[in-house]
Amino acid sequence: MEHAHGLHLPNSGHNRDDEASKMGMWLFLFTELLLFGGLFIVYMVYRMLNHEAFLLSSFELNVWLGTINTVVLLVSSMTIAMSITAIQKGNSAQSIRLLMTTVGLSLLFLVIKYFEWSSKIHHGLFPGMDYYNNLPKGEALFFFLYFMMTGLHALHIIIGGILIGVVAYRTKKGEVTSKKYTLTENAGLYWHLVDLIWIYLFPLFYLIH
């Protein structure tokens, strides 16, 4: 019976395979892109059909808060890219510091988002509220898409922040090292994707004056 376990296949699914993990992450990012892609198609169609209303509604959004959030995300993209450099060079402590900076920036993004959303909700612009229900159809669609797309994006920020926190914790425990840092890389890829989507959301909602 023993020699049944003797056969070791060269390419086993149970071997460690960093390249496979990375490829899996990229494929997952593709699905995320298309998930948002569906919403971008809806945005495009309704913008074509309600051109003026979309223009008018976008003036309601605060360009400066949007710009600040863009900068926050870009900086956080850099800090997580740096944390990969740090772990590759074997500097765990620095890597953890950079990861935690990224988490901090993600929280900052969410706080700013919170103030933005609450001022909109204060005006009754959230779907289902009385003021919203009396809006012209095109503007109602704009605000629905605004809440749906930035909301889904914020959800990704939360998930990404938690993921990066886990990576920092595991780096501290010594499970992520200069020889084994795929986890950091994959968290980085995910975080960059969140950034990429924001790069499109920002002009489409805030800058179409």
Partner 1 sequence: MTAVSTHLNFFQTKKGIFSWIFSVDHKRIALLYFYSLITFFLVGVTLGLLMRYELLNPGKDLVEAKTYNQIFTMHGVIMIFLFIIPSIPAVFGNFFLPIMLGTDDVSFPRLNLLSWWIYVIGALMALSTLLFGDGPADTGWTFYAPYSVKTGTNVTMSVLAAFVIGFSSILTGLNFIVTIHRLRTPGMTFLKMPLFAWSLYATSWIQLLATPIIGITLLMIVAERVLGVGLFDPSIGGDPILYQHLFWIYSHPAVYIMALPAFGVISEMLPTFSQRTIFGYKAIAFSSLAIAFVGYFIWGHHMFTSGMSGTARFVFSMLTFLVAIPTAIKVFNWVATLYKGSINVQPPLLYTLAFIFQFMIGGFTGLVLGALATDIHLHDTYFVVGHFHYVMFGGTGFAFFGALHYWYPKIWGKMYNIKVANVAFVIFFIGFNMLYFPMLIAGLMGMPRRYYDYLPEFHLPNMISTYGSWVLAVGLILMLSNLVAGLLKKNQNVGRNPWNGITLEWQTLSPPPLENFDRMPEIPLNGPYDFEHKPEIKD
Partner 2 sequence: MKQNKDHSEEGTAHISSFRDHWSTLVTLLLLTIVTVVISVFGANLAALSVATALLIATVKVIVVAYYFMHLKYEKKIYTWLILLVVVLFAAFTILTALEYYNR
- Considering only residues 24, 26, 93, 111, which one is a binding residue for partner 2 as defined by CB under 8 A? 26
The residue to which tokens 């510091």 are assigned: 97
Give, as ranges, the residues between 52 and 71 that touch partner 2 (CB under 8 A): 63, 67, 70-71
For the chain, how far is it from start to end, CA to CA, in angstroms? Answer: 74
Asked if 9 interacts with partner 1 (CB under 8 A), we say yes
Where do we find the tokens 């496979």?
A: 20
Question: Between residues 132 and 201, which has the closer beta carbon with respect to partner 2?
Answer: 201
Cβ count within 10 A of residue 150: 21
35 binds partner 1 per the rule CB under 8 A? yes
Site for partner 1 in 130-149 (CB under 8 A): 133, 137-138, 140-141, 144, 148
Choosing among partner 2, partner 1, none, which partner's interface includes residue 151 (Cβ < 5 to 8 Å by kind)? Answer: none
Question: What does the alpha-carbon distance between residue 13 and residue 17 come to, in Å, rounded to a whole number?
Answer: 8
Report the residue number, 11 or 173, with the smaller CB distance to partner 1: 11
Tell me how far apart the alpha carbons of residues 185 and 81 are, in angstroms, rounded to a whole number. Answer: 8
**Is residue 36 a contact point for partner 1 (CB under 8 A)?**
yes
Residue 38 contacts partner 1 per CB under 8 A: yes
Q: DSSP letter at 180? A: B
Find residue 177's DSSP bridge partners. 180
| Alpha helix stretches (DSSP H) within the chain | 18-49, 51-58, 63-88, 92-122, 130-133, 137-172, 182-206
For residues 140 and 162, give the distance between their C-alpha atoms in angstroms, rounded to a whole number: 33
Stretch that binds partner 2, among 13-21, 100-108, 132-140, 148-156 (CB under 8 A): 13-21
φ, ψ (nearest 5 deg) of residue 14: -100, 0
| Residue 118 C-beta: closest distance to partner 2, Å | 23
Give min distance, CB of 95 to partner 2, in A.
Answer: 12
Q: Residue numbers of the site for partner 2 (CB under 8 A)?
A: 8, 10-11, 15-20, 26, 30, 33-34, 37, 40-41, 44-45, 48-49, 63, 67, 70-71, 74-75, 77-78, 81-82, 84-85, 88-89, 179-180, 185, 188-189, 192, 195-196, 199-200, 202-204, 206-209
